[in-house]
């Protein structure tokens, strides 16, 4: 396994942030309640909710940790289910990477364990840590 320096972790974290922000329109986080597919694979259903991010979408620490700035306000839930995973997309809806999602012990933290279509939800946090 590679042992990356903080310098390289920061460069990689900045590259991830810049990929989310690459399009003219803001990137997104789509929350799914289906089984998590292989990275970039078919989601197996429609998202429960989609958060539109700010541009830039967050900050990167000196050790490469990307902290997403949560959108202001809440978004409407479009499908019922329990959040299981999240897909990050650029503003052109190009899938970039997948992450865990839930109310705790996940990379993407939302404010409720069960989503009900028509209700509203908030992104509490999204913190992505570079490995190595």
Q: What are phi and psi of 129, to 5 degrees?
A: -105, 125
Q: Helices in the chain by DSSP H: which ranges?
A: 6-20
Q: How big is the CA angle at 9 (ends 127 and 30), to the nearest 5 degrees?
A: 35
The whole-number average pLDDT for the span 13-17 is: 97
pTM higher than 0.75 for the full model?
yes
> What confidence tens digit (pLDDT) does each residue in 70-106 have?
999 999 999 999 999 999 999 999 999 999 999 999 9
> What confidence tens digit (pLDDT) does each residue in 120-129 have?
999 999 999 9
Residue 119, pLDDT > 80, answer yes
On average, the pLDDT of the chain sits at 95
Q: What are phi and psi of 84, to 5 degrees?
A: -125, -35
Task: Give the whole-number percent of the chain exceeding pLDDT 90.
Answer: 93
> What confidence tens digit (pLDDT) does each residue in 25-34 have?
999 999 999 9
Residue 132, pLDDT > 70, answer no
Beta bridge partners of 87: 30, 98
Residue 56, pLDDT > 90, answer yes
pLDDT computed for residue 130 by the predictor: 76
Count of residues in the chain: 132
């Amino acid at each position: 396994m590679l042992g990356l320096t903080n310098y390289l972790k920061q460069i990689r974290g900045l590259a991830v942030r810049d990929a989310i922000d690459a399009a003219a329109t803001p990137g997104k986080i789509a929350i799914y309640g289906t089984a998590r597919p292989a990275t970039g694979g078919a989601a197996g259903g429609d998202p429960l909710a989609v958060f539109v991010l700010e541009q830039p979408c967050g900050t990167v620490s000196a050790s490469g940790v990307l902290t997403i700035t949560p959108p202001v306000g809440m978004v409407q839930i479009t499908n019922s289910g329990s959040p299981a995973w999240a897909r990050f997309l650029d503003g052109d809806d190009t899938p970039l990477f997948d992450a865990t999602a839930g109310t705790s012990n996940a990379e993407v933290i939302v404010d409720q364990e069960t989503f009900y279509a028509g209700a509203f939800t908030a992104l509490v946090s999204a913190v992505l840590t570079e490995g190595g």
